[in-house]
């Protein structure tokens, strides 16, 4: 197989966030990544900025430097465009490549709102490339999450009767933000704890249990209650000192109740209850706990140090146990990273899973990754939840 030639957007030597360098680059430069992909171009805010990044990350001298999305889109030597910019410029950055019919991998959130996401999906459909689009909802391809799906499908706990999720996080502190993330206090930007921290866990849970059903009478899929407990957020400068305070319009307490779809593995009327609170938990309490109650048993997942199931945690690993009602015994559910993932930084492992799935589909396999269409469905669900709520 000839390598998939990649044009990376947002790999900067001076980026305020380092997702491209800590999550995408390690996989692309790993033995597994190099066997399938080749970085051939970088797009940054200017050609000079792209050149500096090429030098900083010691990429081949042949790597092209671009400062314009249109120029990258016009490059016939780029097969896959990968976007790691701030969410409110995702659409303007990748839209020329979508129109040009290129494959595009964009981080989540796809865009700042469902309307803009719908426009991108429409363009990909016109270009005939929707199945060649990838969105960074990487929790769906996690080995941990695949294990949960497998256990439920096997019937070990019988049909699912209910599920409860309790999460703390989104950010490491309930009232302080670093200056680089001040935009997290503005819903209109699209990057915040609701669209990122909450949405990643919410999407991952539904990828296991199924998307919550719409109510026949109201047409809504879920019932939500929101609160802004800490509207005044302190901003910490690069010097570590609090520089000023801003007013947020992003909810920091999210309560969800919904009905899971009836299926061979889920009882009619099965419930999902989801609670997400920004910031640290009570000392000694896990950052995330998730139970899946079935007819014959119950699964309990605990993440003591992080809510980011889409990423994974090494210093305090996630534990998963199964309680068998008939035998009254609790046993661990074993799961492990793929061999190629073990040598990668934790952030790169599930991102690498998306790249692996895309490469497999290119060789004729199934589309085993979320597309822009998947992202649009999730954007619409999230907006429906918040409809009518005001800070």
* 375 touches 137 (CB < 8 A): yes
Helix, strand and coil in the chain, % to nearest 5: 35, 25, 40
| CATH number among 2.60.130.10, 3.40.30.10, 3.40.50.1240, 3.40.50.720, domain 4-136+350-372 | 3.40.50.720
CATH 3.40.50.720 residue ranges of the chain are: 4-136+350-372
pLDDT in tens, the chain (391 residues): 799 999 999 998 876 568 999 999 999 999 999 999 999 999 999 999 999 999 999 999 999 999 999 999 999 999 999 999 999 999 999 999 999 999 999 999 999 999 999 999 999 999 999 999 999 999 999 999 999 999 999 999 999 999 999 999 998 899 999 999 999 999 999 999 999 999 999 999 999 999 999 876 666 667 889 999 999 999 999 899 999 999 999 999 999 999 999 999 999 999 999 999 999 999 999 999 999 999 999 999 999 999 998 887 666 689 999 999 999 999 999 999 999 999 999 999 999 999 999 999 999 989 999 999 999 999 999 999 998 898 7
Which parts of 74-142 fold into alpha helices (H)?
Answer: 90-99, 114-127
Distance CA 68, CA 77 (A): 16
| Number of H-type helices and E-type strands within the chain | 11, 17
* 130 touches 121 (CB < 8 A): yes
Tell me which DSSP letter residue 263 carries.
B
> Can you point out the beta strands (E) in the chain?
4-9, 37-43, 64-66, 80-83, 103-106, 133-135, 160-169, 176-178, 222-227, 232-236, 242-247, 253-259, 266-278, 288-294, 297-303, 319-324, 329-332
Task: For the beta carbon of residue 199, count every other beta carbon within 10 angstroms.
Answer: 23
**Architecture of domain 142-336 in this structure:** 2-Layer Sandwich (3.30)
CATH 3.30.360.10 residue ranges of the chain are: 142-336
Residues 6+ apart with CB under 8 A from 150: none
Residues in the chain: 391
């Amino acid at each position: 197989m000839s390598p998939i030639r990649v044009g990376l957007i947002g790999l900067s030597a001076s980026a305020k966030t380092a997702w491209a360098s800590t999550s995408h680059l390690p996989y692309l430069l790993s033995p597994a990544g190099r066997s399938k992909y080749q970085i051939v171009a970088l797009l940054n805010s200017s050609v000079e900025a792209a050149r500096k990044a090429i030098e900083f990350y010691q990429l081949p001298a042949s790597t092209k430097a671009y400062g314009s999305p249109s120029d990258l889109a016009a490059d016939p030597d780029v097969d896959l465009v990968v976007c790691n910019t701030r969410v409110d410029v995702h659409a303007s950055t990748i839209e020329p490549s979508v129109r040009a019919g290129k494959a595009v991998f964009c981080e989540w959130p796809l865009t700042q709102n469902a309307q803009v996401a719908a426009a991108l999906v429409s363009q990909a459909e016109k270009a005939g490339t929707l199945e060649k689009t990838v969105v960074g909802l990487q929790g769906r391809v996690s080995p941990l999450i695949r294990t949960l799906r497998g256990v439920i499908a096997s019937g070990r706990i019988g049909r699912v009767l209910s599920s409860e999720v309790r999460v703390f996080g989104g950010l490491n502190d309930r009232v302080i933000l670093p200056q680089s993330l001040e935009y997290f206090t503005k819903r209109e930007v699209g990057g915040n704890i609701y669209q990122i921290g909450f949405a990643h866990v919410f999407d991952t849970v539904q990828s296991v249990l199924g998307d919550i059903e719409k109510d026949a009478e109201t047409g809504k899929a879920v019932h939500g209650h929101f609160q802004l407990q800490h509207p005044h957020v302190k901003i910490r400068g690069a010097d570590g000192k609090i520089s000023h305070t801003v007013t947020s319009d992003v909810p920091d307490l999210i309560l969800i109740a919904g009905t899971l779809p009836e299926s061979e593995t889920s009882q009619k009327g099965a419930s999902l209850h989801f609670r997400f609170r920004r910031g640290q938990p009570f000392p000694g309490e896990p950052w995330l706990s998730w139970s899946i109650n079935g007819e014959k048993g119950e699964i309990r997942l605990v993440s003591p140090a992080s809510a980011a199931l889409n990423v994974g945690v090494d210093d305090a690993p996630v534990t998963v146990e199964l309680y068998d009602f008939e035998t009254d015994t609790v046993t661990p559910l074993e799961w492990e990273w793929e061999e190629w993932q073990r040598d990668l930084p934790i952030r790169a492992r599930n991102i690498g899973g998306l790249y692996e799935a895309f490469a497999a589909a290119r060789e004729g396999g199934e589309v085993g990754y979320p597309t822009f269409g998947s992202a649009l469905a999730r954007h619409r669900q999230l907006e429906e939840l918040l409809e009518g709520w005001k800070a």
